[in-house]
Amino acid sequence: MIFTPAVLRSEWTKVRSVSSTMWTLASALLVTVALSAGLCALTNAQFDNLSQQDRLTFDAAGTSFSGMFLGQLAVIVFGVLVVAGEYSSGMIRTSLAAVPQRAAFLFSKLAVATALAFVVGMVTSFASFFLGQALLGSHRTGIGEPGVLRAVFGAGLYMTLIALFSMGVAAMLRSPLLSLGILMPFFFLISTILAAVPVAKDVARYFPDQAGQKIMQVVPSSDGSAYGPWGGLGIMCAWVAVALLGGYLVMSRRDA
């Protein structure tokens, strides 16, 4: 069996007993909701100053998740610490001695951390939406409008997948510093810059964050993407699957 109650309880104890991992999730929630609320209030105040094109293509639901760009930083840190933290502390040897089945150890850890990320992601997405819409005033939308519930639920899934992707990368690299040194520039510099460069944006739109963010859009963007919201989420899931496979192969073939 890949999942056993004892291993799952052990991993749950590890996650909740390390304050840094819990604080990163709390930070993801607070930063995303606060920044999204501020940007929604600013958008409402400056809405009449927007161009006619911007007003016609305004995505009220998507604006509620505008703070997720920064909030995902904490989610990435959470995913890295959950997996690579044991390597930096040396506890990985004790853990693997207690649970020699590498698949049971890794996937139990991923299951516990993913469940936590999912709960926090959903709370974050729904809180960001309802608070953001309240601050958008007359420009708000309702959760019952076409595509809105999908966007809100998708925002929570996006945060969960970001955490899971980070865990896979951390399992491959086995170092918190190295993992963060690659993930942070990738998401906050390389992906953003390439998406803004005409000759490179056709490649950048298939990056996990660029593709995954489509699920949070209700009003389709005019970037020429060949996929829709669920297609974008599928591309992100493919990235996650590759990262997790790589992490499993490294853990199963290398000593601690």
- Its pTM stands at 0.93
Has residue 149 got a pLDDT over 90?
A: yes
User: How many structural domains compose the chain?
Assistant: 1
How deeply is 255 buried, as exposed, middle or buried, from its count of CB atoms within 10 A (0-12, 13-18, 19+)? exposed
Q: Which range marks the domain in which residue 35 is found? A: 5-253
Q: Which residues of 30-54 are buried (b: 16+ CB within 10 A; e: fewer)?
A: ebbbebbbebbbebbeeeeeeeeee
- pLDDT, tens digit, 9 for 90 and up, residues 220-242: 877 667 789 999 999 999 999 99
What is the per-residue pLDDT for 153? 96
- pLDDT, tens digit, 9 for 90 and up, residues 111-135: 999 999 999 999 999 999 999 999 9
Mean pLDDT of the chain: 91
